[in-house]
A and B are shown apart, each in its own frame.
Chain A
């Protein structure tokens, strides 16, 4: 990967690196290397798209939530995800791209979003597991990103993390209650954990040795920890939580290492990861189709809102 852009002089790059090394925050109007801007647009927009696409697997259970309280919690959670998408698109806009452009890239299949949302939500316990594992993994990543060197992204992360923590607790509480319930309910939880555990570990991205963007992102303090470090932190946090509610994590190699104080774990199926990232997961097609359909079916609504605003701003001017 070329880090130095033709227009960025070595002096500029050096001064920028000095600011980063001094722990300064970079703000939208500050000079930044073209590559720094590009990497941030990529990360922030991927993150925004993930929030929006992530509304779909959870939305799948909204009309079947088994109690009014759970229905309200789920609605509020998905609504939060939409709100996170909004902040993040705004944060990306501070880098000179606009939301329409980013959304067009998503719909054209050119932009990525988290691979996790290409898995199906098949039983009600999936809703709890998404909160516990998926939001849980996101929190580990986002707590690190709250200290990122780019100001608007960092501030968005601080706000988002607070809400995600709440989602994680609600998800875990849903599962804890089901694990104290009937055999059927316990089986649902185990089934959901079996399906979501490995994809959740993949959320941290490829292993450090295969992560093409990591080196430069760490150098610029966009990221503060490597994918593997974050993954290990997540596993260490999660194993005791699984034990506490009596659910088994589907990895026979999980073992506590007294020396390192880490939970060692089995081999991740990276072929599956890359297949899903490249569009061959169980729900890639459905997710994109649902997003495109919402966008296409909403076109006449957006056009009407624009036409109305134009007409009425005209009336005001005339008056």
Chain B
């Protein structure tokens, strides 16, 4: 399938779809690492369910990216045959899963961005993306509620849980900035009504996150002297991504002619 797009838009849109897809693919992978190892059975099931939602979203986005690129690459080609340099996920999702508090703090930060983002994308002028957004926004709403509840329970639970999740909030904070970074790709798509206004999403993110942390008796760390992570969209990844992809891509890399 090919779309009627001018070249600049086509290139930018391909890039943008990869960013959206890669965040979700890598986060889904991290969540799937909990499967069979959760703190309670109900939560084991919930985390697998989230993983499934994110991998499903990534699959739809990568398929669309392949169609936009129009070079015959499938969603699996894009997931399994791209090197780490060509991945565009943010470092927030690359972080190893840590303890349950770390996973939930990361999830809450991501969900508080994901939900308003999908909501805004439901009105994207690029209809296939708006269609994915309409489906994903329902999942994102549920994810945010769930991770938000765990932030409350852990923040306002026992001293141990409070201290643990506060440590995770502190260490993850510097990875949240790049969720809202814009560049020429984004600006061009925004001008076309395809992408959304990231500064608007950032404002919503803060409106969700800051009062919620207070309710959970947690405090955001001071940004004074903190160097926010930046530039991952352009290939400045952490060491963790290479390991993750080595594992994820092992079979299609080892047996390039095989179909699975």
Q: How large is the interface on A (under 10, 10 to 19, 20 to 34, 35 or more residues)?
A: 35 or more
| B56 to chain A: closest residue by CB | A72
The complex places the Cα of A297 from the Cα of B160 at a distance, in Å, of 13
Give the chain B neighbours of A72 by CB distance below 8 A. 52, 55-56, 59
Is there an interface contact between A304 and B153, defined as CB atoms closer than 8 Å? yes
The complex places the Cα of A159 from the Cα of B155 at a distance, in Å, of 38
Is there an interface contact between A59 and B35, defined as CB atoms closer than 8 Å? yes
Looking at the assembled complex, report how far the CB atom of B67 sits from the nearest CB atom of chain A, in whole angstroms.
15
Q: A319 at interface (Cβ–Cβ under 8 A)?
A: no
Q: B202 at interface (Cβ–Cβ under 8 A)?
A: no
The complex places the Cα of A297 from the Cα of B62 at a distance, in Å, of 35
Is there an interface contact between A86 and B260, defined as CB atoms closer than 8 Å? no
Looking at the assembled complex, report how far the CB atom of B117 sits from the nearest CB atom of chain A, in whole angstroms.
21
Give the chain A neighbours of B49 by CB distance below 8 A. 79
Q: A209 at interface (Cβ–Cβ under 8 A)?
A: no
Q: How large is the interface on B (under 10, 10 to 19, 20 to 34, 35 or more residues)?
A: 35 or more
The complex places the Cα of A185 from the Cα of B175 at a distance, in Å, of 41
Task: Pick from B58, B153, B160: contact of A305, CB below 8 A.
Answer: B153
Looking at the assembled complex, report how far the CB atom of A257 sits from the nearest CB atom of chain B, in whole angstroms.
38
Query: A35-43, A62-70, A139-147: which lies at the B interface?
Result: A62-70
Chain A 275-315: CB-based contact to B (< 8 A → 1; otherwise 0): 00000000000000010011101111111111111010000
Looking at the assembled complex, report how far the CB atom of A315 sits from the nearest CB atom of chain B, in whole angstroms.
11
Q: A177 at interface (Cβ–Cβ under 8 A)?
A: yes
Interface residue ranges of A34-75 to B (CB < 8 Å) = 52, 55-56, 59, 62-64, 66-72, 75
Give the chain B neighbours of A151 by CB distance below 8 A. none
| Given A86-B45, A297-B39, residue A67 in contact with residue B260 (CB < 8 A) | yes
Is there an interface contact between A307 and B157, defined as CB atoms closer than 8 Å? yes
| Given A63-B247, A300-B161, A303-B160, residue A76 in contact with residue B52 (CB < 8 A) | yes
Is there an interface contact between A75 and B161, defined as CB atoms closer than 8 Å? no
Interface residue ranges of B110-147 to A (CB < 8 Å) = none
Give the chain A neighbours of B154 by CB distance below 8 A. 301, 304
Is there an interface contact between B157 and A305, defined as CB atoms closer than 8 Å? yes
| Given A68-B62, A301-B154, A305-B153, residue A294 in contact with residue B75 (CB < 8 A) | no
Looking at the assembled complex, report how far the CB atom of B155 sits from the nearest CB atom of chain A, in whole angstroms.
9
Q: A267 at interface (Cβ–Cβ under 8 A)?
A: no
Q: A83 at interface (Cβ–Cβ under 8 A)?
A: yes
Q: A6 at interface (Cβ–Cβ under 8 A)?
A: no
Looking at the assembled complex, report how far the CB atom of A103 sits from the nearest CB atom of chain B, in whole angstroms.
9
Interface residue ranges of B236-260 to A (CB < 8 Å) = 244, 247-248, 250-252, 255, 257-260
Is there an interface contact between A290 and B48, defined as CB atoms closer than 8 Å? no
Give the chain B neighbours of A75 by CB distance below 8 A. 32, 35, 48, 51-52, 55
Is there an interface contact between B164 and A300, defined as CB atoms closer than 8 Å? yes
Task: Pick from A59, A70, A79, A304: contact of B160, CB below 8 A.
Answer: A304
Is there an interface contact between A52 and B255, defined as CB atoms closer than 8 Å? no
Is there an interface contact between B100 and A298, defined as CB atoms closer than 8 Å? yes
| Given A67-B76, A72-B56, A304-B161, residue A59 in contact with residue B100 (CB < 8 A) | no
| Given A70-B260, A300-B164, A304-B158, residue A290 in contact with residue B37 (CB < 8 A) | yes
Q: A96 at interface (Cβ–Cβ under 8 A)?
A: no
The complex places the Cα of A59 from the Cα of B35 at a distance, in Å, of 6
Q: B41 at interface (Cβ–Cβ under 8 A)?
A: yes
Q: B231 at interface (Cβ–Cβ under 8 A)?
A: no
Q: A82 at interface (Cβ–Cβ under 8 A)?
A: yes
Write the residues of chain A forming the contact surface with B, with a CB cutoff of 8 angstroms. Answer: 52, 55-56, 59, 62-64, 66-72, 75-76, 78-79, 82-83, 85-86, 89, 124, 177-178, 181-182, 184-185, 290, 293-295, 297-309, 311
Query: What are 20 of the A-B contact pairs (CB < 8 Å)?
Result: A59-B35, A59-B36, A63-B244, A63-B247, A64-B247, A66-B252, A71-B55, A72-B59, A79-B35, A82-B45, A177-B259, A298-B39, A300-B161, A301-B40, A301-B43, A301-B100, A301-B101, A304-B157, A306-B157, A308-B156
Beyond A59-B35, A75-B35, A303-B157, 12 additional contacts (C-beta under 8 Å) are: A62-B33, A63-B32, A64-B247, A64-B251, A124-B260, A294-B37, A297-B100, A298-B38, A298-B100, A301-B101, A303-B161, A304-B153
